[in-house]
Amino acid sequence: MPGEEEQHKRALRAELRERRQLLSEAQRDDAADGVTAQLLELVRTHGARSISCFLSTVTEPGTHRFVEDAVAQGIRVLLPITREDGLLDWAVAGEGDEISEGLFGLPEPAGEVLGPIAVNDVDLMIIPAAAIDIAGTRLGWGRGYFDKTLGSMQKRPPVYAVIYDSEVVDSLPRELHDQPVDGIVTPTRIITLSPARD
Model confidence band, residue 157 (pLDDT cutoffs 50, 70, 90): very high
User: Does residue 178 form part of some domain?
Assistant: yes
Report the Cα–Cα distance between both ends of the chain, in Å, rounded.
26
Provide mean pLDDT across the span 31-45: 98
Provide mean pLDDT across the span 81-108: 84
Position 195 pLDDT exceeds 60: no
User: Does residue 156 form part of some domain?
Assistant: yes
- What pTM does this model have? 0.92
Provide mean pLDDT across the span 131-149: 91
Q: Which residues pair with 159 in a beta bridge?
A: 125
User: Does residue 129 form part of some domain?
Assistant: yes
Position 4 pLDDT exceeds 90: no
Position 114 pLDDT exceeds 80: yes
User: Does residue 197 form part of some domain?
Assistant: no
Cα–Cα distance between 89 and 167 in angstroms, integer? 28
- CA separation (Å) from 38 to 54, 163, 175, 185? 15, 12, 29, 7
Spatial neighbors of 188 by CB under 8 A, at least 6 apart, are 34, 38, 165
Buried b (16+ CB within 10 A) or exposed e, 42-66: bbeeeebeebbbbbbeebbbbbebb
Position 76 pLDDT exceeds 50: yes
Provide mean pLDDT across the span 138-161: 91
Cα–Cα distance between 53 and 172 in angstroms, integer? 23
User: Does residue 133 form part of some domain?
Assistant: yes
Cα–Cα distance between 56 and 107 in angstroms, integer? 7
Model confidence band, residue 2 (pLDDT cutoffs 50, 70, 90): low
Model confidence band, residue 68 (pLDDT cutoffs 50, 70, 90): very high
Model confidence band, residue 198 (pLDDT cutoffs 50, 70, 90): very low
Residue 27 domain boundaries: 4-192
Provide mean pLDDT across the span 129-143: 91
User: Does residue 10 form part of some domain?
Assistant: yes
Q: Which amino acid is at 44?
A: R
User: Does residue 198 form part of some domain?
Assistant: no
Here the CATH number for the domain that contains residue 70 is 3.40.50.10420
Give pLDDT, residue 49. Answer: 97
Please give the residue that has the higher pLDDT: either 43 or 8.
Answer: 43
The closest of 154, 122, 144 to 53, measured between CA atoms, is: 122
Domains held by the chain: number: 1
Query: What is the pLDDT of the chain when averaged over all its residues?
Result: 90
User: Does residue 185 form part of some domain?
Assistant: yes
